[in-house]
Structure 1
C-alpha cells in the first residue's frame, strides 16, 4: 500500500536534513526565519522513524499475522536488501577517503573517529548499539538503530492483532510511548531530542518507531475513526506546534506526538495538502530519500577534503552537488 502524500513528505524530510547539515555553510543572505527552520532539521529524522514504523507496519502486518515463521525471514531479508547495499557502498567511499587522509594528505593522519573498530561495527550495522561515536558515514547512525528495532518488529506486529478492536487502546499506547520517551529524556537532563545521539539513539528510535506502528495499526483497523477525526487531528497538530515554536518547551515533550498526529492526518485527508505532497517531483524525492540521506554527508566530506580548508568556501558547490 503506497500513500503518495507520505512519500512526498519523506522527500521533504530528506532535504531538510541535507540543508540542516549545510547550515553553517550559508551566508547572511539567507533569511533568519529560514535559518531557524533549517536549524531544526535534525527533527526530520524523528519524522523518518515514525514514518518507518507506520509504513513498515502497513507493508508487513498482514503477512506476519497469517504466516509468522515464513514472513519473519522474508521481512528481515527485504529490509536488509533495502538498506545494506547503499550502506556498504558508502562505507567503501569513506574507506577511500580514509586512505586519502592517511597516504595522500599533508598531515598523513585521518580524523580520530576513523577507527577500525568503528568500521567493523558499521559494516555490521551495530555501531549505535554500544553507544559509539558518530563516525564513518555519520547519517548511518539512524539505520543502525533502526536495524536494532527491526529485530523486534515481527513480534510487535504479531502481538498487535490483540489490539484490533480497541481504538482507546491504540490511543493510550501512542500516548504511553510518547510519555515514556519524554520521561527518559527529561531524566537524562538533555534539552533536545537531537542531543547525545551516541547514548540516546536506540531509545529515540525504538519509541518513535513504535508510535508509528501504533498509528499504522490504527489506520489499518480503524481508518474510519481517523477519517472522522482528521480535522481534530490537524487542530491538535497545530496546537502542539504553538508551544514548541513560542516557548522553551523541550522538543522531546511535543515533537513525537506532533508527528504522530501529522501522519494520522495525512494518511486519510483529501485536502489540498495531499495533492501538493503527491506531486510527481515530491513523490520521486521520497522514493530516493534514503539515497539522498545516506549520500549527502560523503559529498560534503569529499568536497571539504579535496578542495578547501575553510568549509565556508564550498557553500554553493555543496548545495548544488548534494
Structure 2
C-alpha cells in the first residue's frame, strides 16, 4: 500500500495485481512477436498476436484510474498545494526512478546522445521533455520522427500516465466530490462508459477537419502513419487516453460506494452468484479476442484508445464483487509476484528483447513457426526474469528512498518539483511556437 502520508490504508485487491500482469504480458508478447519476426512484413499469425498490445494499454490505463482513486480518493476532500505535491511525489517515486535509469541507458545505446552533444537545439528540447516526462503531451517531431519514437519508445505511456496523475486531484475535487451515494456513482459510471464513445464517434466523423486544424498549428507534420499527428492525437496523447483513466476512476468510485453501503452490497452478494460472475468474466475474455478480428472502420479507429475500457470495467467489478475460479488464477502467488513487477516487465522489454533480434542470430530459411515461437518464449522469459530483478533492486529501494527523502525535506522537494515542471513545459512550448 501507499505511504500513510498520502493515503488512507484500504484492503489490498490481489485480483487487480494479477490483472496488471496480464496487461504487461499482452504488451510483451505483442512486441516480442513483432520485433523477433524473421520476415517483413510479419506473418499473418504474428500480425494477429501483435494486436494484443491493444488489450494491454487500455488495461493499464483503466487499472491506473482505479488504483489512484481507490488509494487517494479520501485525500482530496479539498485541493491544497501541499497535499497536491505530496500526492504527485508519491506517484513520482513509484515510477520515475526506473524510468530515469532506462532513459539514461537509451541515451548511451542510441544515437541520440551524439546529436545532443553536437548542440542540436531540437534534441536538447526533446531531451528536456523526456527528462521531465512531458514528451507525449505535445506533437513533437525530430528528423521526421515523433520524439516518442526517437528515444525510448515505450516511455510515451509513462508521460501520458503522469498527465493523469496531475489531472486526478482536479477531477476528484471538482467532479467526484459532488457525487455521493451508490445511485449517483452508478449513473456516473454509466456516463463514463457511454460518453467517450460519443466523443470518439464525433472525432471519427471529423478526422479530416481535425487533421487540417492541427496541421495549421503543428509544423512540421509527418505523413508516416506511426509519426502522424492523427496517430499522436488518438493513440499516444493523454488527451484521448484520459477517458480510459476516468473509466477506471468511475469503477473505483462505484466499487467503494457499493462496499460501504451494506444494503447494496448484500443485494449484490445474494444475486450475483458465482455462475453469473464467471459467465461475465468468460464473456469479457472472449470479447477481448473476438474484437481483434473486427475490421470495421470505427472499430479500428476506437481500438486505438477507448474501445475495451467498458468491458475491462465490467471485468474488474465482477472480479472484485464475486469470487470465482478466475479469481483464483489472478490471486495466485505467481500472478501477484508478476503483477507487482508489471511496470518493470513493461518498460524494460525495449532492451531485453533487442538481445534476441533475428539479425543477431539469423534464422535459416523463411518463416519457421517452431523456431520463431521458441525464440519468443526464451526472450519473454528472459525479460520477465530481468524485470523481477530490476523491481527488487531499483524500483522498491528507490521508491522507499525518495519517500523518506520527501519526509525529511518536504518543502525543498515540493519547490524542486514545481521548478522542474515549469522547465519542462517551457522547453516544450518554445519548441512548439518558436
TM-score higher than 0.5 here? Answer: yes
Larger CA deviation: 286-295 vs 60-69 = 60-69
Matched, 1:7 2:23: no
Cα pair 1:8 1:278 within 8 Å, conserved: yes
How far is the alpha carbon of 1:66 from its aligned partner?
6.6
Larger CA deviation: 152-161 vs 236-245 = 236-245
Judged with a 3 Å threshold, the aligned counterparts in structure 2 of structure 1 residues 312 and 320 are, in CA distance, closer, same or farther, namely farther
Cα pair 2:55 2:288 within 8 Å, conserved: no
Counterpart-to-counterpart distance in 2, 1:169 and 1:138: 35
How far is the alpha carbon of 1:238 from its aligned partner?
6.4
How far is the alpha carbon of 1:198 from its aligned partner?
2.4
The aligned counterpart of 2:232 is 198
Matched, 1:184 2:203: yes
- Which among 87, 104, 110 is matched to residue 92 of structure 1? 104
Counterpart-to-counterpart distance in 2, 1:301 and 1:242: 27
The aligned counterpart of 1:164 is 180
Aligned ranges for residues 53-202 of structure 1 at < 5 Å? 53-65=65-77, 69-98=81-110, 115-132=123-140, 133=146, 134=148, 135-158=150-173, 159-165=175-181, 166=184, 167-185=186-204, 187-188=206-207, 197-200=231-234, 201-202=237-238
How far is the alpha carbon of 1:268 from its aligned partner?
1.7
Judged with a 3 Å threshold, the aligned counterparts in structure 2 of structure 1 residues 243 and 289 are, in CA distance, closer, same or farther, namely closer
How far is the alpha carbon of 1:120 from its aligned partner?
2.0
Judged with a 3 Å threshold, the aligned counterparts in structure 2 of structure 1 residues 199 and 164 are, in CA distance, closer, same or farther, namely same
Counterpart-to-counterpart distance in 2, 1:59 and 1:75: 10
- The alignment of Structure 1 onto Structure 2 pairs a total of residues equal to 311
Counterpart-to-counterpart distance in 2, 1:156 and 1:309: 48
User: What is the Cα-based RMSD across aligned positions, in Å?
Assistant: 3.9
Larger CA deviation: 154-163 vs 220-229 = 220-229
Deviations 1:58-102 (A, max 9, x none): 000012227755432221010111111111000111111036995
Counterpart-to-counterpart distance in 2, 1:271 and 1:83: 32
Judged with a 3 Å threshold, the aligned counterparts in structure 2 of structure 1 residues 186 and 282 are, in CA distance, closer, same or farther, namely farther
The aligned counterpart of 2:308 is 255
Cα pair 1:137 1:298 within 8 Å, conserved: no
Counterpart-to-counterpart distance in 1, 2:64 and 2:341: 15
Cα pair 1:61 1:157 within 8 Å, conserved: yes
Cα pair 1:90 1:298 within 8 Å, conserved: no
Judged with a 3 Å threshold, the aligned counterparts in structure 2 of structure 1 residues 142 and 245 are, in CA distance, closer, same or farther, namely closer
Larger CA Rg, structure 1 vs 2: 2
How far is the alpha carbon of 1:210 from its aligned partner?
0.7
Cα pair 1:178 1:207 within 8 Å, conserved: no
The 3-state SS of whatever aligns with 2:12 is: coil
Deviations 1:45-68 (A, max 9, x none): 111000100111100001222775
Q: What are the ranges of 5 or more consecutive residues in structure 2 without an aligned counterpart?
A: 1-10, 116-121, 141-145, 212-224, 260-264, 365-370, 384-434
The aligned counterpart of 1:17 is 27
Matched, 1:319 2:380: yes
Counterpart-to-counterpart distance in 2, 1:121 and 1:180: 29
Counterpart-to-counterpart distance in 2, 1:289 and 1:311: 30
Question: What is the TM-score when the length of structure 2 is the normalising length?
Answer: 0.62
Counterpart-to-counterpart distance in 1, 2:286 and 2:360: 45
How far is the alpha carbon of 1:302 from its aligned partner?
5.7
How far is the alpha carbon of 1:41 from its aligned partner?
2.0
Counterpart-to-counterpart distance in 2, 1:26 and 1:277: 30
Question: What is the TM-score when the length of structure 1 is the normalising length?
Answer: 0.81
Cα pair 1:215 1:264 within 8 Å, conserved: yes
Counterpart-to-counterpart distance in 2, 1:74 and 1:255: 32
Counterpart-to-counterpart distance in 1, 2:280 and 2:83: 33
How far is the alpha carbon of 1:149 from its aligned partner?
1.9
Cα pair 1:125 1:143 within 8 Å, conserved: yes
Cα pair 2:189 2:247 within 8 Å, conserved: no
